[in-house]
Amino acid sequence: MSRAGSGPRTRVRTAKGRKIASTRWLERQLNDPYVKRAKAEGYRSRAAYKLIELDEKFAFLKGAKRVVDLGIAPGGWSQVVRKRLPQASVVGIDLLPTDPIDGVAILQMDFMDDAAPDLLKEALGGPADLVLSDMAANTVGHQQTDHLRTMALVEAGLLFATEILRPGGAYVAKVLAGGADHGLVADLKRAFTTVKHAKPPASRKGSSEWYVVAQGFKGSEEQQT
């Protein structure tokens, strides 16, 4: 994958009323090559390149016809899917509003809502080839609590994936530093033939995020009988 070139660094003055942390974040954004590249290539966020880099390594997008995007906002991942798979059916969900994307059905609601899984299945119209999850819980600043809340989303995403994936399908989800815990990894290995962890180059070095890539769904108990 080509890298964006490095030009003169942009410095941001600390404006009146703006916290130092906010100034640092803004400066980092302005100097981030992935942010610049996303703007140049029409992606809504730098996160698009995380999916591109993961797919370059694991090729889970190849041949996918139905894709679910959990935590779709602002839409960068679905943009990648539509660009690489223009004929694919894509359904996304997020509690946050997401601007329309051509060819993508978007549900604005909490994935943890009891009604969400059935609505996603109805919108997709058939078994999925791929379930993507870039969901992360809102942090509260307590590392263990933040980890548990995000892993609960990963587990919920896995349960949903086992209900909607066709045999051979894949589940790709954001986890935190250290990857999925032992119990979750055991569940993933029972359901998929291969389970790998990866940190794509587009993930900032200081970020605690990793991704778990589970491929070769073995099928639900109903599909196996």
Q: Where are the domains of the chain?
A: 12-41, 45-224
CA angle 51, 174, 167 (to 5 degrees): 75
Q: pLDDT at position 4, please? A: 44
3 state SS of 78: helix
- What radius of gyration do the chain's Cα atoms show? 18
Long-range contacts of 192-199 (CB under 8 A, 24+ apart): 192/216, 192/217, 192/218, 193/218, 196/58, 198/54, 198/57, 198/58
Is 99 annotated for ligand binding? Answer: no
Distance CA 169, CA 181 (A): 22
Is 134 annotated for ligand binding? Answer: yes
Instruction: Check if the beta carbon of residue 106 is closer than 8 Å to that of residue 100.
Output: yes
Is 69 annotated for ligand binding? Answer: no
Ranges 23-37, 111-125, 189-203: which has the least confidence: 23-37
Q: 45-224 — its CATH code? A: 3.40.50.150
pLDDT band at 3 (very low <50, low <70, confident <90, very high): very low
- Backbone CA torsion sign across 56, 43, 129, 114: positive
Dihedral (Cα; 14, 34, 95, 163), 10-degree rounding: -150
Instruction: Check if the beta carbon of residue 99 is closer than 8 Å to that of residue 136.
Output: no
Is 219 annotated for ligand binding? Answer: no
Residue with tokens 């909607």: 164
3 state SS of 33: helix
Give whole-number Cα distances, 224 to 115, 132, 166, 217, 220, in Å.
Answer: 26, 23, 11, 11, 6
13: Cβ contacts below 8 Å, ≥ 6 apart = 23
Q: pLDDT tens for residues 78-93? A: 999 999 999 999 999 9
* Positions marked active-site: 174
pTM of the model: 0.83
Q: pLDDT tens for residues 14-65? A: 555 556 555 554 455 555 778 888 888 889 999 999 999 999 999 999 999 9
